[in-house]
Each structure stands twice: as C-alpha cells, then as structure tokens.
Chain A
Amino acid sequence: MFSFFYNSNIFIWIEKLLNFINSIFFVLLVAALSFALIFSPPDYLQGDSVRIMYVHVPAAWIGLASFTSIAILSILNFIFKIKNLILITKSIAPIGFMFTCLAIITGAIWGQPTWGTYWAWDARITSMVVLAIFYFIFIMIHKLISEGEKANRISSFVAIIGLINIPIIKFSVNWWSTLHQPASIKISGESSIHSSMLMPLLLMFFVMILYCALIFLMKYKTEIIRIKKKNLNRL
C-alpha cells in the first residue's frame, strides 16, 4: 500500500492529474467569471463593488489554508521525518504567499469605495500583512540557506511559530473593533450571505483551488526532477 507514496508512483499520478485539471480548468474559469461579473446580483448597500469579494475572499481563504497546511506538515515532519513533507511545504509556500498578497491588494482596492480609504492599520489587515511576512521568511530561508537539512529545520520552526497568527487573523474581527466586517460565511451556524452570491463565490473558490493544484503539482514535479537530477549518478 505504501508503494503509492514512492516518488515514481506519485510522479505518474501528477502527470494524470495535470492533464485532467488542464482539460476542465478553462471552462470552469469562464463559468465562474461569468457568474462573478455578470449574473450575480449587486449588494443592496455596496452595489457592484461587492464583486471584488469573488477574488478577495477565496484568495484570503487559500492564503490562510496554505499556511495552516504548511505548519501542520512541518509539525508532522518534526515528528516523523518524512522528506516528501518538506517537498510539499516548499511547493505550497509560493502559492500561499501569492494569494495572501492578492487578498491584501484586492482588499485595499475594495476598501476605497467601501470605507473611503485604501489602507488602515486595522487588526485583520495588519495580521494578514504579518502572515505575508511569515510566508516571505519561509520562502527566503529555502532560497538563502544552501544546506538543505538546516533550511528545513529553520523553515519548519518559522511555520510553527507563524501558526499562532492564524487564529489571530480569524478572530481579529471579533476580538477588536475593526473596519473589516465579521465573517458572513460560517461552517457551523447560519451564513448571512444570500445563496445568489454564495454559489458564485464557492464556484470561484473551486476554480482558484484548481489553479493552486495546477501550480502545486508543477512545482512538486519540478522538485522531484531536481532531486533525481542531483542524484543521477547514484541511479
């Protein structure tokens, strides 16, 4: 059963998954954009500016989820010392960083028509900036420290420390008085967003998840080839 987790088997599955995602991605992207920009209704208070939500919210969710995954995988790596976990965290980090930055930028653009300012040192926004800094440090450690084992140890430590910031981001809107609105979508409990907006939002989120999977699989494949290339003489 564990033979599935060998790099050679993973490599074959990556190829199949990449082909599958590539075949459905464009159609889903067009559908999601049509709903987000045309078919979904404007908000009764915010008007059409609410459409920014369809890129801002999924980007923020992915930024948070990616860092949480990196931190959990780093903890597992500390315990079980599985090399593949480091490859996975290294492949996820740039995607998470990109989406965190996109969430901050699109949030700032949304801030202007909604709050009258692009930027405020609000608890939610500031904690998102802190998250982007953690991502940046994590990526730079792997770029600057050439000794693999040392880089893995330090980056794992940074990821675990950064995990403290995740609940701060999540609950910042409840703990402090902030410009940012509280969560409209709740996993437990009733969401305060209408289904005509929730459906396009979930569709857009799904498309972005597919995009993340594409980038992740390509990066993971690159890492496997890089390792094989380095060890070619030992094959």
Chain B
Amino acid sequence: MIQNLIFMNGYGVFVWSSFVITFIVCAVVYFKTLKTLKKYEKEFAKEIEDLSIEKRKRVLENSKIASQVLSSFNKSI
C-alpha cells in the first residue's frame, strides 16, 4: 500500500511534485505574511511605548487598535 501511495502506478513523480510545490509555496507565503504582520505589530507597539505617558494614554483611549496591538505585544514578550 505504501509503495502504491509513493509510486502511484508510475504517476507518483507528477502527483507528488504538484502537491509538494503547492505545499511549499503556501507555507512560504504563510510564514512570510506572518513575519511581516509581527514586524509591523512590534514596530507599532514600540512606537506607542516610546510616546510620552500623557500622549500614550490619549492614543490608547482614542484607538482600540493601538491598545489591542500593545496588549497582544506585551503578552507575547
């Protein structure tokens, strides 16, 4: 059965290469997208933390996004 699954009556090389290429491309795109998202989250959280206390308080009150990014960033450290 394992041999059948690997060789697929001579079509194995075509079938497996199609699936492997698709899987690798999808995985690379997933991790690249995730890395970019984390990078932006980190930069944004850092910029908020670098603000003066008063300004930071105002930003966090006015923006739900800013407060959420900051809290999730603090959780991840």
Contact = CB atoms under 8 A, between A and B. Distances in A.
Interface of A: 7-9, 11-12, 15, 33, 36-38, 42, 47-49, 51-52, 55-56, 59, 94-95, 98, 101-102, 105-106, 109-110, 112-113, 211, 214-215, 218-219, 221-222, 224-226, 228-229, 232, 235
Contacts of B3: none
Chain A interface, DSSP helix/strand/loop, else mixed: helix
Contact of B21 (A47, A106, A219, A224): A106
A67 to B, nearest CB: 17
Contacts, number: 111
Given A106-B21, A109-B14, A113-B11, A228 B66 contact: yes
Nearest to A111: B14
B47 to A, nearest CB: 6
Interface string B12-50: 101101110110011001100110110011011001100
B69 to A, nearest CB: 6
A52 B30 contact: no
Contacts of A235: 58-59, 62-63, 66
